[in-house]
Amino acid sequence: MVITFPPMGNVSLAARAFFEAVQIPYVSPQKANKQMLQAGAALSPDEICLPFKVFMGSFADSIKAGADTVLLTGSCGPCRFGEYCELQPKLLKKNGFNAEMLVIDAPKAIGRKELCRRIRSILETSPVSGASKFKAFRQALHILSLADGLNEKAREAAGYEKNRGESKRLLEACFKQLDSVRLPDDMQAILLRYHEKIDFIRKDINKKPIRIALIGEIYSMIEPFANLFIEDLLMEYGIVSKRLITPSWWIKDLAEKPFGVHSAQIMKAAKPHLPYNAGGHAKESLGFAQLCKNDGFDGAIQIYPLGCMPEIVAKAVLPSVQKEHGFPVLTLIIDEMTGEAGYLTRIEAFIDMLAEKRKREARTA
């Protein structure tokens, strides 16, 4: 068994750490990029959403590189993600890419027994002991949380740094080093070292940077290519950005879901506007936007792939949140045709508008 998995931001890093530690052969996906998307789009139905196309391009590359098993997580409600594991193996096979697809789905969907069987079918190919597997799993989670935490710290520091661009440079240097190592211990050491470096960035705490919340579809949140690297762009402008949805948050949310205590505050904030489950993370988008407004954020940017059903529902409801709370929201919809120039212009215009709004409010205060 040679496993591969889709490119999903920091998740890919944690997966690499895990498979390395348990000595299961794997093909690490390349970083998501334009060529991958175009190749994936050529294998996919036109109307399907962008993550499907990126995944297809990545799976095709990894199968060519020797992978024979594709690992995918299951759906999170009524959206197209549930169709991925049905459609993708058929389309891959039809186009000459032979691989088995192993879906790690929620026990609710496939039953606890079947879930255990699927996990066992992967783990039994590892030569290491059960205790080592458990340690590897915990370490992979730790690496994931360190990487997500570093991102968050750097995005916050970008608004206050004295040397413009320092936090972005550090973040890039860290991920470049992570790409060059294989051992989980090395990954962990690099991340810890860069956490310290970001902590010691020289800051001007009197600055009052514009603060923007990022909301939207999960893949657009966790995979930088799927949002056209918006966080990096905002860092260049000295803007603080924050997003709720990170892989670490998603795992915690998943673990808490069966007990009904997941994202309680966010769900409460979203409920008056969207009392029903629209799939994906539509409720989280609405609830997080409101909480960020209360937390002093200037506005939010909602990002989702063209045709994303849950976020279309969220977009329809967001105007009422904007109106009720006076909280500006810009919506960006991404597909393989999205041009960077137009995207950039809209973000710049939104930032100018937020800065003007601040000035206006200061004058009238």
- One-character DSSP codes across 219-233: HHHH-GGGGTTHHHH
* Residue 235 or 309 having the CB closest to ligand SF4: 309
Quote the CA–CA distance of 49 and 60 in Å, as a whole number. Answer: 17
Identify how many contiguous H helices and E strands the chain contains and give both numbers. 16, 8
Nearer to ligand SF4, 154 or 274 (CB): 274
CB of 169 to ligand SF4, least distance (A): 32
Instruction: State the minimum distance, in angstroms, from the CB of residue 311 to ligand SF4.
Output: 6
> Given the complex with ligand SF4, which of 51 and 224 has the nearer CB atom?
51
Please tell me what DSSP assigns to residue 211: E
Instruction: Compute the C-alpha angle 96/335/214, nearest 5°.
Output: 125
Nearer to ligand SF4, 90 or 182 (CB): 90
Which of 280/299 has CB closer to ligand SF4? 280
Identify which of 176, 177, 155, 175 has the alpha carbon closest to the alpha carbon of residue 166: 155
As measured in angstroms, the least distance from the Cβ of 108 to ligand SF4 is 18
Nearer to ligand SF4, 45 or 66 (CB): 45
Which of the 8 DSSP states describes residue 203?
Answer: B
Smallest distance, ligand SF4 to C-beta of residue 316, A: 14
Report the residue number, 49 or 234, with the smaller CB distance to ligand SF4.
Answer: 49
In the complex, minimum distance from the CB of residue 301 to ligand SF4, in angstroms, rounded to a whole number: 16
Question: Closer to ligand SF4 at the Cβ: 201 or 312?
Answer: 312
Rounded distance between C-alpha atoms, residue 10 and residue 254, angstroms: 17
b/e burial code for range 137-155 (CB count within 10 A of at least 16 → b): bebbbbbbbbbbebbbbbb
Q: How many Cβ atoms sit within 10 Å of the Cβ of residue 361?
A: 11
Query: How does 56-84 read in b/e, with b if 16+ C-beta sit within 10 Å?
Result: bbbbbbbbeeebebbbbbbbbbebbbbeb
- Which residues make up the interface to ligand SF4 (CB under 6 A)? 49, 51, 79-81, 217, 219, 280, 305, 308-310
Beta strand extents in the chain (DSSP E only): 3-4, 26-27, 69-73, 100-104, 211-216, 240-243, 299-305, 329-334
For residue 302, the SS3 value is: strand
Rounded-to-integer distance, Cα 248 and Cα 241, Å: 17
CB of 285 to ligand SF4, least distance (A): 11
Nearer to ligand SF4, 218 or 240 (CB): 218
Burial (0-12, 13-18, 19+ Cβ within 10 Å), 23: middle
